[in-house]
Structure 1
Amino acid sequence: MRRLTLVLLLAGLGCSAAHAGVFDDDEARRQIADLRIKTEARFDQQSRAQLELSAQIQRQAEEIAQLRGLLETLMYKQETGDKRVQDFYLDLDSRLRKLEPQAQPAAAPADGADVPGDVKTAIGTDPAKESADYDAALVHFKAGRYKEAAAAFAAFVGKYPNGSLAANAQYWLGNAWYAQRNCAKAIEAQTVVTTKYAATQKAPDAWLAISTCQQEMGNPKAAKASLQTLIDKYPTAPAAETARERLKKK
């Protein structure tokens, strides 16, 4: 009887151990399955986040490309507009020169005569040579060689400070500096036009150019003052009408 009891007891223990082993295996598999599901869910979430980030980067790249294209278009339009304005003034300059009377060489004074400085400068000046030098400087400007144009116009006004084309050359000297985006030099050159050559037709345009530079240099107050000075001094000049339009927008 004891033997039978012992055998039954051992058999029961074996069954319990086997059941426990099966239970442990099922629990381990369940935990592994749960871990795999959670891991896959995490990877799926990360994948979706990466896809969204990639889509955002793509959209931003497309927006940047569009903005770059717009900027290039605006820059092209500005350059084209500037070129048209330059061509217009160059053509106007040429037309006005044809209408102006040609200067004649001054007669030499008698020995011992008191000769003013401006007359001394004019004596011996060849109008044809002066015109050729001016045209040579203008060719540089038309070709977009603004550095060479600035040097040529500066040399011209130094050689013919009281010549018939001096005011024009000084004005284009300022434009040559502006074309090089050197507003400080441009204002300096145009100020000479508004002072030394204030009575010429280039003076109103010089005031307008000064105002443009002042605005670009971040000084709208000075730009506005220059426009008002232009209107006050040259109310009937074409540049004055432009100045009035600009003041309306300020």
Structure 2
Amino acid sequence: MKRLVPLAALLILPTVASAQLFGGGETQRQLDALRENVNQRLEASSRAQLELSSQNELLRAEVARLRGQIEVLMHEVESLKQRQKDFYVDLDDRLRRLEAPGGAAPQSAADPAAESAEYEGALNLLKAGQYREALAALNAFIAKYTQSSFLPGAHFWAGNAALQAKEVAAASNHFNTVLARWPADTVAPDAMLGLANSQQALGDAKAAQRTLQALVERYPESTAAKTARQRLGIR
């Protein structure tokens, strides 16, 4: 009987070993599967982080670009305000000369007071944001007062009104008229900048760049030339 016990133990051992072997293999497979799952999640997380980082970089670059555009636009607005102020100062000076005894009268036979009133009325429409109405009023003024001393400014502001009203071709014509007939007038540099804006609006970026370069060369000390240099990226 004692000899049967060791024999029974010998018969049981392979079964236990086999169970342990097969059980261990299943556990290993589970561990491998778990490890693969973890690796896949880590890789997915890493890709997501890289993608997020890339998107952040793109957003930062876009924000920087927009800030630059805002700064340029703010500068242009301030420059325009200053040019408008200078223009009205010049207008007041001209009106005072007309009102002074012995002052130079307009070459036309029109009533100076009526002429000034019509011109100022057109500019008030422009300041009020009524661009089409301002353009029509300025065009009427130009046609009526063909010898007016206000013609350079009338064409310049008509160009601005046309540009705001999306009548870009008309804007270009008015700015070109200023540059062709009154290249030494105080509004000429701004007219050239307006011409560049018109060319840009028409999709002719190369022509706009050439105009900006010509503006810097022809009127280097003007406020408009400073804006042109900023756009061209030069000092």
TM over 0.5: yes
Among 102, 125, 129, which residue is 1:140 paired with? 125
Among 89, 92, 104, which residue is 2:90 paired with? 92
Aligned identity (percent) is 20
Q: Show the counterpart of 2:189.
A: 208
**How far does the alpha carbon of each residue in 1:92-120 deviate from its partner, in whole angstroms, 9 at most, with x for none?**
1221232243648xxxxxxxxxxxxx97x
Q: Which amino acid is 1:51 matched to?
A: Q
Q: TM-score, normalised by structure 2?
A: 0.68
Q: Which amino acid is 2:144 matched to?
A: K
Give the structure, 1 or 2, with the largest relative contact order (CA under 8 Å, sep 6 or more). Answer: 2
Among 165, 175, 189, which residue is 2:174 paired with? 189
**How far does the alpha carbon of each residue in 1:20-66 deviate from its partner, in whole angstroms, 9 at most, with x for none?**
12211112112212321232233223223323433443444344334
Taking a change above 3 Å as real, the CA distance of residues 181 and 80 of structure 1, as seen in their structure-2 partners, is farther
Q: Show the counterpart of 2:31.
A: 33
Q: Larger Cα Rg: Structure 1 or Structure 2?
A: 1
Q: Show the counterpart of 1:79.
A: 77
Instruction: Note the C-alpha offset of 1:221.
Output: 4.5
Q: Show the counterpart of 2:15.
A: 17
Among 162, 171, 176, which residue is 2:156 paired with? 171
Which consecutive unaligned segments of at least 5 residues does structure 1 have?
Answer: 105-117, 232-238
Q: Is the 8 A contact 2:163 2:171 kept in 1?
A: yes
Q: Show the counterpart of 2:47.
A: 49
Q: Which amino acid is 1:89 matched to?
A: F
Q: Is the 8 A contact 2:155 2:175 kept in 1?
A: yes
Q: Number of aligned residue pairs: give it.
A: 213
Q: CA RMSD in A?
A: 3.9
Instruction: Note the C-alpha offset of 1:82.
Output: 1.7
Matches within 5 A, 1:208-247: 208-216=189-197, 217=199, 218-219=206-207, 220-221=209-210, 242=222
Q: Is the 8 A contact 1:208 1:226 kept in 2?
A: yes
Q: Is the 8 A contact 1:211 1:227 kept in 2?
A: no
